[in-house]
Amino acid sequence: MVKVAAVQMRSNGDMSANITALERMVGEAAAQGAQYVQTPENTGIIQNDRALYRASLHAEQDDPVVKAAAALAKRHGIYLHIGSTPIKLDNGLIANRAFVFAPDGPKITTYDKIHMFDVDLDNGESWRESDTISAGDRAVVTELPFMKLGLAICYDIRFPQLFQAQANAGANVISAPAAFTRQTGEAHWHILQRARAIENGAFLISAAQGGLHNGNRQTYGHSIIVSPWGKVLAEADHDDPAVIYAEIDVADSTAARNKIPNLKNAREFKLETIGGGTDKA
């Protein structure tokens, strides 16, 4: 058994204030015995003003969130998973990048969000992540002493093939730390999280942003931990900052996959599209 935690935040445009919140909440999780702690997408900053956003960013080696996270992991002796924070790239674009740090501080791995949130929602809400974010092209599974962890970020949750690939590579815990909009969260958050856990016979841990950011962006919250059988083990049933916990045993993933061996039973197939009408003179 291992105790895991998901940190629900309300990040804003002040990176220093976000780091202070990160330090406090990760410290709280560690004090409660969590050995793995996950934070949400955009832990370091949420800022809709594009000029201010760009001006706040750093290359990875200089990023204050990355430095703070490495120090936190070492201070508390935990595996710390920063769900993502924006990183300035040499090509002028930005990586929406996740980090996993070891208990002695070093970075274990990173993951850059693959799927860009380019959508037009009701009531005029529109997003074009690809205008500023450089999409990743590699899926990641990282092996920790007590789990094999698949990394994903927010909109990735709508692409089941990513998680199936991770499960087939041995992941028994998957993740999708997020900054879901309130509109899409109310409609789809819970069913997507539970579906990915069930499909892959894996625990799912998704820390979320929640509430009103900078007075003009609202996220759904409801950070969640789900069992391989689809049971919600813990949830922040609101959008306020919070830490949620669960004790997990990855043997439950093996048991779920033995009961429903859909990963083993998957087959390759051909797809045919066949017309049903007839030509008329």
The verdict on whether 113 is a catalytic residue reads yes
Spot the catalytic one: 129, 154, 270, 280. 154
Residue 119 confidence (pLDDT): 67
* Topology given in CATH for the domain delimited by 2-264: Nitrilase/N-carbamoyl-D-aminoacid amidohydrolase (3.60.110)
What predicted TM-score, i.e. pTM, was given to this entire model? 0.95
Q: What is the DSSP letter of 161?
A: H
Q: What is the pLDDT of residues 92-109, one digit of tens each?
A: 899 999 999 999 999 999
CB 136: neighbour CB atoms within 10 A? Answer: 21
Coil, helix or strand for 135? coil
- Active-site hit among 113, 129, 148, 235: 113
Closest alpha carbon to 233 in 243, 247, 253: 247
Query: What six digits make up the tokens of 213?
Result: 């950011």
The pLDDT of residue 128 is above 80: no
Is residue 154 part of the annotated active site? The answer reads yes
Over range 127-143, report the average pLDDT. 89
The Cβ-side half-sphere exposure at 171, using a 13 Å CA radius, reads 26
Instruction: Assess whether pLDDT exceeds 90 at residue 50.
Output: no
Separation CA 205–CA 250 (nearest Å): 13
Residue from 3, 23, 28, 41 carrying the catalytic annotation: 41
Query: Which pLDDT value is given to residue 107?
Result: 98
264 is known as an active-site residue: no
